Amino acid sequence: MLKKRIIPCLDIKNGRTVKGVNFVNIIDAGDPVELAREYVHQRADELVFLDITATLDKRKTLVELVKKVAAVINIPFTVGGGINSLDDVQAIIQAGADKVSMNSSAVRRPELISEIAQEYGSQFVVVAIDVKFVEGKWMVFTHGGSRATTWEAVSWAKEVERRGAGEILLTSMNNDGTKAGFALEITDAIAKAVNIPVIASGGAGQMEHFKTLFETTAASAGLAASIFHFGEIPIPVLKNYLAEQEIAIRR
């Protein structure tokens, strides 16, 4: 049985780490380089870096900042935001990323998933899927959650796997920043519909939320931001708690 992963996420805006609620009401959460260094110290399993306004602002991911973060960490590092071509991917690789994450660009041109997977391998490709419960269905949204698509969440998850994605980062917009718990039903539905790892994101507020996530869904990892950034739940404390609950966790 694969051990579950705990992953902090650095949402980046104008060179700073930020956090919001339901993808809005953004507040500053600190310097990304210092946070990244601290997460290595806390034994985070991986680190995700998302330039949340790169697509909206139609600019490239902050490559220089990625280099600075990569220089202070020794854990797997996923970078996303404004990645639209193989040239963008090459720049991110050279800056120190281990994986790239795509959302809006994958929906706009699904062939990009296959192109990156063929060039670098599926293990390098993470497709971020932002979903929102709308009129009884979980639907996919792009552009930082601001644009609705016609894709239903499970169907899109199956499509990105078929195209060559090696992992899915699933974020519930309804749960994001609420600290009320993960969106368990859609997380489990997607995790069981595909054969690639699913990272659950959105809603973590207590250690029990991770326990429930891993006990009731097939998610491979739990991702969170503010509870880690502001020291509400130190990662070592969370891992010890989960181990005590007999959940197989990386130590």
CATH classification of the domain holding 181: 3.20.20.70
- The overall average pLDDT reported for the chain is 90
Rounded to whole angstroms, the Cα distance separating 92 from 180 reads 34
Angle between helices 63-70 and 32-41 (to 10 degrees): 30
- pLDDT score recorded for residue 26: 55
- pLDDT score recorded for residue 55: 57
Q: Write the pLDDT tens digit of every residue in 44-59.
A: 999 999 886 665 555 5
With respect to residue 249, please indicate whether it lies within any of the assigned structural domains: no
Question: Which residue among 11, 51, 88, 188 is the active-site one?
Answer: 11
Boundaries of domain holding 105: 5-244
- What is the tally of structural domains in the chain? 1
Question: Which residue among 51, 130, 176, 188 is the active-site one?
Answer: 130
Closest CA to 236 of 2, 35, 40, 19: 40
With respect to residue 251, please indicate whether it lies within any of the assigned structural domains: no
11: annotated active-site residue: yes
Q: What is the pTM of this model?
A: 0.92
